């Protein structure tokens, strides 16, 4: 039954995504960027949030919302699933995602991403690509926007060893804005590379901001420690809540590692 519900949600998720892309496509040159965000993007997010709750039984609890400051901001979020690519958006007033350049080339989707001035990065482009990304991000924060990045660069299974990229420290150093660390356990409920979703409550915690001006090495060390400590705590809390439905092992670079309660290879 859970697999059936998961497949039904996947069909609904991609179906509604396609539907909204096509419905709002004629309005792409008409609506302003912010109007498209409010009317199009937020409607898409709300629809899929409701579908996930009704079909799969997955909800979310957001903690530490009071730690989200006003004004320009660098958001560094744990990345375990597709869920956080849309579910975090309503928590911020005007976020700009840093995403891989290939996504901007997808017909229709890429046009909407360009409309919202999302920030592409060529992951194979080396230092020049990193410099281009930083320049674009700085231009966006100068207008008061929040820049959201996944500092590990790709989805990681719950409990896997951290793999933070040094680019986040360079970005922080250049932007000179506060950094908001975000911990979560979404991978328990929406595992990567899996068709199955779990019912339950995804936990997200917005941690105290790191002020601008920290040395790069100190910033990266503190960011990783803050996010990983909190994410591991949320992981254990999620495992306890799932009980008998908890996964059995957690993938860590292709190997199973043990926590106090084992988790699955997702």
Alpha-carbon distance of 88 to 109, in angstroms, equals 19
Alpha-carbon distance of 125 to 32, in angstroms, equals 31
Residue written as token pair 């001035």: 117
Name the average pLDDT for the chain: 91
Say what the pLDDT of residue 129 is. Answer: 85
Say what the pLDDT of residue 123 is. Answer: 75
Higher pLDDT, residue 208 or 249: 208
pLDDT digits (tens, 9 = 90+) for 5-52: 999 999 999 999 999 999 999 999 999 999 999 999 999 999 999 999
pLDDT digits (tens, 9 = 90+) for 64-99: 999 999 999 999 999 999 999 999 999 999 999 999
pLDDT digits (tens, 9 = 90+) for 125-141: 778 888 999 999 999 99
- Output the CA–CA distances (angstroms, integers) from residue 254 to 9, 249, 250, 265, in the order listed: 28, 11, 9, 8
Say what the pLDDT of residue 125 is. Answer: 73
Reported as type and span, the H/E element at residue 234 is: helix 216-242
Say what the pLDDT of residue 249 is. Answer: 58
Domains parsed from the chain with CATH numbers: 58-257 (3.40.1130.10)
Alpha-carbon distance of 177 to 100, in angstroms, equals 23
Burial 124-146 (b: 16+ CB within 10 A, else e): eeeeebbebbbebbbebbeeebb
């Amino acid at each position: 039954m859970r697999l059936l519900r998961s497949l039904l949600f996947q069909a609904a998720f991609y179906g509604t995504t396609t539907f909204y892309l096509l419905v709002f496509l004629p309005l792409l040159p008409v609506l302003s960027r912010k109007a498209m965000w409010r009317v199009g993007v937020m409607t898409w997010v709300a629809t899929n949030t409701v579908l996930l709750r009704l079909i799969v039984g997955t909800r979310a609890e957001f903690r530490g919302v009071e730690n989200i400051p006003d004004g320009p901001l660098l958001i560094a979020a744990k990345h375990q699933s597709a869920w956080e690519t849309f579910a975090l958006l309503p928590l911020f007033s005007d976020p700009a995602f840093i995403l891989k350049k290939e996504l901007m080339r997808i017909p229709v989707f890429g046009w909407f991403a360009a409309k919202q001035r999302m920030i592409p990065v060529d992951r194979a482009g080396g230092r020049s690509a990193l410099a281009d990304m930083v320049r674009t991000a700085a231009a966006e924060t100068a207008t008061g926007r929040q820049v959201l990045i996944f500092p590990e660069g790709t989805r990681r299974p719950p409990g896997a060893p951290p793999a933070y990229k040094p680019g986040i420290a360079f970005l922080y150093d250049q932007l000179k804005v506060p950094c908001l660390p975000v911990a979560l356990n979404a991978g328990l409920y929406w595992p990567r590379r899996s068709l199955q979703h779990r019912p339950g409550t995804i936990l997200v915690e917005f941690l105290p901001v790191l002020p601008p001006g920290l040395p790069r090495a100190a910033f990266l060390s503190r960011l990783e420690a803050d996010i990983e400590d909190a994410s591991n705590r949320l992981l254990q809390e999620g495992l306890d809540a799932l009980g008998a439905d908890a996964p059995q092992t957690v993938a860590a670079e292709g190997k199973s590692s043990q926590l106090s309660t084992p988790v699955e290879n997702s």
